[in-house]
Amino acid sequence: MRNMLRIARWEFRNRVRTRSYLFNTFISPLIFTMLFLLPLYFTTHQPDTSVKLIGVIDLSPEKNIANKLSNALNRSYKLENTLSQYGIYTISIKNAPAYRELSSELKDIEAQYDSLNRLHNRIKQERTAYFTQKATPNRQFSLNRSYERLRKVREEKELVSIELQRYRTAMDSLYAREARVVADSMIINNVLSAYLLFPSDFIKSGRIEYHSRSTADLLDSERLEKTLQNLIIRSRLQELNLGTRKVRELMRPVHLDKYKIRGNNEESWNIYAQFYGPLIGVFLLFIAIFTSGGYLFSGMMMEKANRILEVLLSYAAPGEIMGGKILGLGTVGLTQVLIWLFITFLLNSGGIISGGSLSYLTFENALYFLLYFSLGYLFFGAIFIMFSSIFSNEYDAQQVNQLLRIVAIFPVLLSLLVVINPNSFWIRLLSYVPFLTPSFMILRIPLSGQPLTTDIIITTGIMLFSIAVIIWISGRLFRVTTLMMGKKPSWSEIIYWIRHSK
């Protein structure tokens, strides 16, 4: 036991004094936190300094959406100098030669249709007069003749109506096509930031096209979508003749004040603060595992190459060496966690981070975080020690090292599933898998909103049992593989050593 403690103390002193350990303890958490928070900040607080010009192609009959959109954007979005953040530019091609020619032909057809329509109405009036006047010898003849004229005019009117509709469709198609060309060129030349195309039935269908040069302008597209949704709903309500005051009441926005029930109390909560905090904790666990993996593999390979292990074996038994390394590694991880918890406590006490908005910053949750962090650290540390003792070739060891690091980051990739639904059956089932248990429980405990006493007891037992099994396997392999040099063992040999080593 004394030898094991000495080895653990030696491992601890050597690890905590390295620059990489200090970097991963103090700088890496800050970097990961910034990586989480900066995208969120810039997504909601982009420092716009110039007006963004948005083009509008309006194919609707009213042709008034541009003014409505401009007024709505002016009310909602301003620059720091109080200027409107968005400008609206109506794209028109009415002076284009092709459009003017087609427009002239359309006017001729409209004039012909209006003439036939007037003639049709006049004939109908004549027939009404024939029916109302007294019977005369020529009355039936006049009615028959007017009916033939009415039928011919009606047929001609229907043909002209079809032609008129065809021309209008062609006009809309030409207008949309030519306007797209103009708008695209303006975007390419950086005149427009984006443009909107409104179909003729956009109020009924709710479909509007958004064209931009970049797919990264999510904030602009979301703002435009929100504004247009309000405008379209307002137009639909006005068509029902509800009145301006009634429409304004119906369009009043809804704000949700979020509260979380904890026991007999309720507290307000912020979705970003509540979710990002536990995620940062999971990433800290990954940083610690990533760091320990590098320490173990590089340390074991160096000790094998420099014959330091042979000196250690003359001083202590293989089990004491392995136990000392695991204990030293666990102490290194525990120190790292305590430093992070102490920094969090100082930030909370100083008011830099608010414990009111971060309700999971409690002593109980800190103990659970410490528990699962330590269990996960020891679990993966024992696995790293087991595999690092098997290989003597640096190339083979690095391959296994990369594989183990991928396994360690896999729970981080699944963290979003836990955040979305921490109490689902599958998430609870996956929490019992030792590779996933530390990360999943660190997330579930502050997010579940309900007691997890049973899960905590079961998962703690599973982790302790798994760590004991890994240490038992590592001890058997460590005795055999410690002094192996230049030979890569096969999997059958490894299994044989596990089964028969004493």
Instruction: Give the pLDDT of residue 354.
Output: 53
What's the token pair of residue 213?
Answer: 């040069």
Kindly state the DSSP code that residue 488 receives in the 8-state scheme.
Answer: -
- Asked if 176 and 209 count as a contact pair (C-beta separation under 8 A), the reply is no
- What is the helix (H) or strand (E) element at residue 106, kind and residue range? helix 97-132
Alpha carbon 255 to its chain centroid, in Å, reads: 22
pLDDT at 428 over 80: yes
pLDDT-based confidence at 285, cuts 50/70/90? confident
Residue-wise pLDDT for 44-66, tens only, equals 555 556 788 999 998 887 778 88
The vertex-438 CA angle with 361 and 299, nearest 5°, equals 110
Q: What is the pTM of this model?
A: 0.59
- What is the helix (H) or strand (E) element at residue 461, kind and residue range? helix 453-481
pLDDT-based confidence at 196, cuts 50/70/90? very high
Closest by CA to 211, choosing from 224, 225, 196, is: 196
pLDDT at 270 over 60: no
N- to C-terminal Cα distance for the chain?
A: 19
Instruction: Give the pLDDT of residue 260.
Output: 58
Closest by CA to 405, choosing from 486, 252, 266, 287, is: 287
**Backbone φ, ψ for residue 54 (5° rounding):** -110, 125
Q: Give exposure, 208-238, as e/b (b: 16+ Cβ within 10 Å).
A: beeebeeeebeebeebbeebbeebbebbebe
Instruction: Give the pLDDT of residue 358.
Output: 52
The average pLDDT across 414-439 equals 86
Closest by CA to 482, choosing from 286, 342, 311, is: 311
What average pLDDT does the structure give for the chain? 78
pLDDT at 399 over 80: no
% of the chain surpassing 70 pLDDT = 81
pLDDT at 432 over 90: yes
Instruction: Give the pLDDT of residue 466.
Output: 92
Instruction: Give the pLDDT of residue 98.
Output: 77
What CA–CA distance (Å, rounded) separates 70 from 457? 60
Alpha carbon 388 to its chain centroid, in Å, reads: 38
Q: Quick one: CA torsion of 12, 13, 15, 18, rounded to 10 degrees?
A: 160
Alpha carbon 40 to its chain centroid, in Å, reads: 10
pLDDT-based confidence at 277, cuts 50/70/90? low
Question: Cα–Cα distances in Å, from 449 out to 263, 360, 362, 420?
Answer: 9, 10, 14, 13
Question: Cα–Cα distances in Å, from 213 out to 39, 187, 221?
Answer: 21, 7, 12
Q: Please write down the HEC assignment for all residues of 269-330.
A: CCHHHHHHHHHHHHHHHHHHHHHHHHHHHHHHHHHHHCCHHHHHHHHCCHHHHHHHHHHHHH
Q: Which of 19-28, 286-295, 338-347 has the lowest mean pLDDT?
A: 286-295
Written as one string, the DSSP assignment of 63-86 is --HHHHHHHHHHHH-B-TTS-BSE
What CA–CA distance (Å, rounded) separates 173 from 342? 67
- Asked if 57 and 198 count as a contact pair (C-beta separation under 8 A), the reply is yes
The average pLDDT across 498-502 equals 69
pLDDT at 463 over 90: yes
Written as one string, the DSSP assignment of 14-51 is HHHTSHHHHIIIIIHHHHHHHHHHHHHHHHH-----SP
pLDDT-based confidence at 111, cuts 50/70/90? confident
Q: In a 3-state reduction of DSSP, which class is residue 195?
A: strand
Instruction: Give the pLDDT of residue 54.
Output: 92
pLDDT at 242 over 80: no
pLDDT at 6 over 70: yes
Residue-wise pLDDT for 215-229, tens only, equals 667 778 888 998 998
Rounded to 5, what percent of the chain is helix, strand, coil? 70, 5, 25
From its phi and psi, is residue 266 left (phi > 0), alpha (psi between -120 and 50) or beta?
Answer: beta
Stronger pLDDT, 126 or 430, i.e. the higher one: 430
The average pLDDT across 434-455 equals 83
pLDDT at 451 over 80: no
Instruction: Give the pLDDT of residue 314.
Output: 77
pLDDT at 202 over 60: yes
What CA–CA distance (Å, rounded) separates 116 from 164? 13
Instruction: Give the pLDDT of residue 385.
Output: 77
What's the token pair of residue 53?
Answer: 């010009």
Q: In a 3-state reduction of DSSP, which class is residue 176?
A: helix
The average pLDDT across 60-87 equals 82
pLDDT at 178 over 90: no
Instruction: Give the pLDDT of residue 34.
Output: 76
% of the chain surpassing 90 pLDDT = 5
Closest by CA to 70, choosing from 82, 54, 57, is: 54
Q: Domain boundaries in the chain?
A: 52-250, 270-500
The average pLDDT across 190-213 equals 88
pLDDT at 448 over 80: no
Closest by CA to 340, choosing from 287, 296, 376, is: 287
Written as one string, the DSSP assignment of 415-459 is HHHHHH-TTSHHHHHHTTSTTTHHHHHHHHHHHS-S--HHHHHHH
pLDDT-based confidence at 255, cuts 50/70/90? low
The average pLDDT across 64-83 equals 83
Residue-wise pLDDT for 309-364, tens only, equals 777 777 777 777 777 887 887 788 778 778 877 877 777 676 655 544 555 556 77
Residue 87 pairs in a beta bridge with: 53
